Amino acid sequence: MKRKGGRRDEILQIARTLFAEKGFEAASIREIGDAAGILSGSLYYHFATKDDMLDELVRPFVLPLLKHYEEIAHSDADAPDRLRDMINFGLQNLVQKPDLLKIVANDRKFFAKSERFNYVEEAWQDIFQIWYGVLQDGARQGEFRNDLNLHITLRMIIELLNGTVDWFRPDGRFTIEQVIETQVALLFGGLTPR
Amino acid sequence: MKRKGGRRDEILQIARTLFAEKGFEAASIREIGDAAGILSGSLYYHFATKDDMLDELVRPFVLPLLKHYEEIAHSDADAPDRLRDMINFGLQNLVQKPDLLKIVANDRKFFAKSERFNYVEEAWQDIFQIWYGVLQDGARQGEFRNDLNLHITLRMIIELLNGTVDWFRPDGRFTIEQVIETQVALLFGGLTPR
DNA sequence: CCTACCGATCGGTAGG
DNA sequence: CCTACCGATCGGTAGG
Residues B101 and B81 in one domain: yes
> Is the CB of A144 less than 8 angstroms away from the CB of B193?
yes
**Nearest Cβ partner of B192 from A162, A167, A189?**
A189
Q: What is the per-residue pLDDT across B34-49, written as a single tens digit (0 to 9) for each?
A: 999 999 999 999 999 9
Provide, rounded to the nearest whole percent, the portion of chain A with pLDDT above 70: 97
Residues B126 and B72 in one domain: yes
| Structural domain harbouring B8 | 1-47
Q: Please give the radius of gyration of chain B, using alpha carbons only, rounded to the nearest integer.
A: 19
Cα distance between residue B63 and residue A14, in whole Å: 39
A194 part of a folded domain: no
B6 part of a folded domain: yes
pLDDT of residue A5: 67
Residues B132 and B98 in one domain: yes
**Taking the C1' atom of D5, which residue's CA lies nearest?**
B41
- Top residue of A83, A106, A191 to mutate, by most chain B CBs within 10 Å, is A191
Q: What is the per-residue pLDDT across A92-139, written as a single tens digit (0 to 9) for each?
A: 999 999 999 999 999 999 999 999 999 999 999 999 999 999 999 999
Half-sphere exposure of A37 (CA within 13 A, CB side): 3
Residues A83 and A177 in one domain: yes
Residues B33 and B117 in one domain: no
Residues A111 and A16 in one domain: no
B26 part of a folded domain: yes
Q: How far is B6 from chain A (nearest CA, A)?
A: 33
Distance CA A25 to C1' D10 in A = 10
B53 part of a folded domain: no
- Whether the per-residue pLDDT at B6 is higher than 50: the answer is yes
Q: Quick one: closest CA in A to B139, which residue?
A: A191
- Count the domains in chain B: 2
- Top residue of A124, A148, A177, A186 to mutate, by most chain B CBs within 10 Å, is A186
Q: What is the per-residue pLDDT across A66-85, written as a single tens digit (0 to 9) for each?
A: 999 999 999 999 999 999 99
Residues A43 and A72 in one domain: no
pLDDT of residue B194: 86
Half-sphere exposure of B86 (CA within 13 A, CB side): 32
What pLDDT band is residue B126 in, cutting at 50, 70 and 90?
very high
> Is the CB of A183 less than 8 angstroms away from the CB of B152?
yes
Residues B81 and B138 in one domain: yes
Q: What is the per-residue pLDDT across B139-160, written as a single tens digit (0 to 9) for each?
A: 999 999 999 999 999 999 999 9
Distance CA A97 to C1' D8 in A = 35
Distance CA B108 to C1' C15 in A = 39
B35 part of a folded domain: yes
Positions in chain D where some atom is under 7 Å from a protein CB:
1-5, 9-14, 16
Residues A128 and A182 in one domain: yes
Q: What is the per-residue pLDDT across B42-68, written as a single tens digit (0 to 9) for each?
A: 999 999 999 999 999 999 999 999 999
- Whether the per-residue pLDDT at A16 is higher than 50: the answer is yes
Provide, rounded to the nearest whole percent, the portion of chain B with pLDDT above 70: 97
pLDDT of residue B3: 46
For strand D, which residues in window 152-191 of chain A come within 7 Å by CB? Answer: none
Residues B16 and B102 in one domain: no
Residues B122 and B62 in one domain: yes
Residues A40 and A100 in one domain: no
Could you write out the three-class secondary structure of chain A? Answer: CHHHHHHHHHHHHHHHHHHHHHCCCCCCHHHHHHHHCCCHHHHHHHCCCHHHHHHHHHHHHHHHHHHHHHHHHCCCCCHHHHHHHHHHHHHHHHHHCHHHHHHHHHCHHHHHHCCCCHHHHHHHHHHHHHHHHHHHHHHHHCCCCCCCCHHHHHHHHHHHHHHHCCCCCCCCCCCHHHHHHHHHHHHHHCCCCC
- Higher pLDDT: A3 or A12? It is A12
Q: What is the per-residue pLDDT across B80-93, written as a single tens digit (0 to 9) for each?
A: 999 999 999 999 99
> Is the CB of A178 less than 8 angstroms away from the CB of B152?
yes
B36 touches strand C (CB under 7 A): no
Mean pLDDT, range A175-181, rounded to an integer:
97
The total of other beta-carbon atoms located within 10 Å of residue A116's CB is 12
pTM given for the model: 0.93
